Structure 1
Amino acid sequence: MRAVLVTGCSSGIGLETALAFARRGDRVHACVRNPAGAGELLRRAHAENLTLDVPRLDVTDDASVTAAVAAVQDRHGPVDVLVNNAGIDVTGPVETLPLDRARDLVETNFWGPLRMARAVLPGMRARGSGVVVNVSSLAGRTFAVPHGGFYAASKAALGALSEALHAEVQPFGIRVVCLEPGSFASAIQRRSAAPQPSASDPYAADHAWLARFLARVAEGAADCSEAAGAVVAAADDPGTPLHTVVGKDAEEALQLLTGLSHEQWLPRFLEHAESLAGPRPHRP
């Protein structure tokens, strides 16, 4: 029985991952930023007679992270598996997206996992074992799409951090895996857009076009239980590659990118996006 700590469990991949570990009999700490949003998680756990803790944890707050991890360690000792799943998405142009929104995104998607890793690693090192699973995104491995630059940058940074961390903690018996899911039917897709730009914003029409494209992509998103299965498998299998894509669409996307420069890729992306969302307002 392992002590498993999962962040961002109120919905989507985090919720499914917490339930998947609980079904195996692990001691699951399914962390949520707002306890009021844990209703679905608790309802499903009760329906399956699963036992899990639901502590409040805000990955953007140092004190919250320290307190939550200390509480877990006081009860069960060092964390065996950390799943850094909490994340947000904000779409918008590099020039005009409000900087406070961009900072919130990076604070959650990059600094959050770093805070969590730093909090659990001393206990893992002392015991000589542990697994850190960082849930990144295909966006961190592919070329960034228009209006998706900040999200892609945060996930690419998480991938780079995972590489360095992997090399640093491997001698202590600790594994690091960076999972890169494609499109899954999670709440992050439903709350990704920044406030609609004003009519005077030079990117307003492009922003609306991209929103239509993303909505069409979301229609074909896979079930989050598939991604949860990949998280559990990564925690179990020492042979899991550091960078592991999750989902058929992610695998296909990487294959299509092989050997392409950004200049070769962009026209193909625009053609695909226009097939789903109509002509781009300001196509080059």
Structure 2
Amino acid sequence: MTAVLITGCSSGIGLETALAFARRGDRVHACVRTPGTARDLLDRARAEHLTLDVPLLDVTDDTSVTAAVEAVTEAHGPVEVLVNNAGIDRTGPVETMPPDLARTLLETNFWGPARLARAVLPGMRARGGGVIVNVSSLAGRTYAVPHGGFYAASKAALGALSEALYAEVRPYGIRVVCLEPGSFASALRHETPAGPGPYHADHAWLDGFLARVAEGAADCAEVAEAILAAAADPGTPLHTAVGKDAEAALPSLSGLSYEQWLPAFLAHAQSLTGPRPGPGE
């Protein structure tokens, strides 16, 4: 049995991934941030007669991360598979997005995986191997959309961190994979109220577009299966797109400058959401 630690398991991709590893018979530590948020996970696990632990872990807190990793290590030995899944999504203009909200995005989506990786690596090196799967996003590999700059920045930074980490830990027998899902039916995306200011209408328009895209989102179980495959297959590329939209989007950007891509994106968004508001509307 493999000791697996997964963050962000109260819903969506994390929940499905925890169940998928448990079905395989692994020792699953399905972490949630807030007490009481694992009810759906535990109900589904009981229905399938699956065994898993549900520790509390706040990826933005150094002490919480250290305590969770130490508890797993004491109970089952070093973490063998780390799945950095916890993440949040908020939209907002670069100029007016509240600084605390922007910082929380980076703390959760970038520093969270960094904290967990740093915490598990000594144990992985000691046992001579391990796998770190960072769940990023298509947004980290494509051009950033209006009002999506901070989220895209957090995911692009996670991709860069994954690349450096891949090269650093490979000599120790440790693998790193950065999965980049497209649109999936997770609880990740939350609309950010478009506050007063010069970008109010444009921000609301963009959130309306994202809501329309989410209506056709694929099942999170597909991402969970991709995570299992990445953990098991040494041939998995560092950057791995997941989902038909992600697989189609990346090649379509080849050779396009941002100035060429943006009008095409805006035309697509307007076809779903209506005309983009002009300045001051």
Q: TM-score, normalised by structure 1?
A: 0.97
Aligned match of 2:270:
274
Residue by residue over 1:215-270, the C-alpha shift from the partner in whole angstroms, topping out at 9 and shown as x without a partner, is 10000100000000000000000000000000000011112111111011000000
Residue by residue over 1:16-73, the C-alpha shift from the partner in whole angstroms, topping out at 9 and shown as x without a partner, is 0000000000000000001211100000000000000000000000000000000000
Aligned match of 2:20:
20
1:253 equivalent to 2:246? Answer: no
Counterpart code for 1:252:
A
CA shift, 1:109, in A, is 0.3
Counterpart code for 2:20:
A
Counterpart code for 2:11:
S
Aligned match of 1:129:
129
1:9 equivalent to 2:9? Answer: yes
CA shift, 1:195, in A, is 2.8
Structure 1 residue runs of 5 or longer lacking an equivalent are: none
Q: Identity of counterpart residues, as a percentage?
A: 78
3-state SS in 1 of match to 2:37: helix
Structure 2 residue runs of 5 or longer lacking an equivalent are: none
Matches of 1:84 and 1:62, distance apart in 2: 15
Out of 228, 233, 239, the position equivalent to 2:229 is 233
Counterpart code for 1:279:
P
Counterpart code for 1:103:
R
3-state SS in 2 of match to 1:75: helix
Instruction: Answer whether contact 2:193 2:204 (CA < 8 A) is retained.
Output: no
Matches of 2:160 and 2:194, distance apart in 1: 32
Q: How does 1:168-247 map to 2 (within 5 A)?
A: 168-189=168-189, 191=190, 193-198=191-196, 201-247=197-243
Structure 1 runs of 4+ aligned residues shifted over 3 Å read none
Matches of 1:282 and 1:32, distance apart in 2: 42
Residue by residue over 1:135-165, the C-alpha shift from the partner in whole angstroms, topping out at 9 and shown as x without a partner, is 0000000000000000000000000000000
Instruction: Answer whether contact 1:97 1:194 (CA < 8 A) is retained.
Output: no
Counterpart code for 2:253:
L
1:65 equivalent to 2:61? Answer: no
Matches of 2:249 and 2:161, distance apart in 1: 23
Matches of 2:15 and 2:35, distance apart in 1: 13
Matches of 2:155 and 2:274, distance apart in 1: 28
Matches of 1:186 and 1:38, distance apart in 2: 15
1:167 equivalent to 2:167? Answer: yes
3-state SS in 2 of match to 1:8: coil
CA shift, 1:211, in A, is 1.1
3-state SS in 1 of match to 2:226: helix
CA shift, 1:194, in A, is 2.2
RMSD value over aligned CA atoms? 0.7
Aligned length in residues? 279
Matches of 1:282 and 1:102, distance apart in 2: 25
Aligned match of 2:114:
114
Matches of 1:280 and 1:158, distance apart in 2: 31
Matches of 2:97 and 2:250, distance apart in 1: 28
Q: TM-score, normalised by structure 2?
A: 0.98
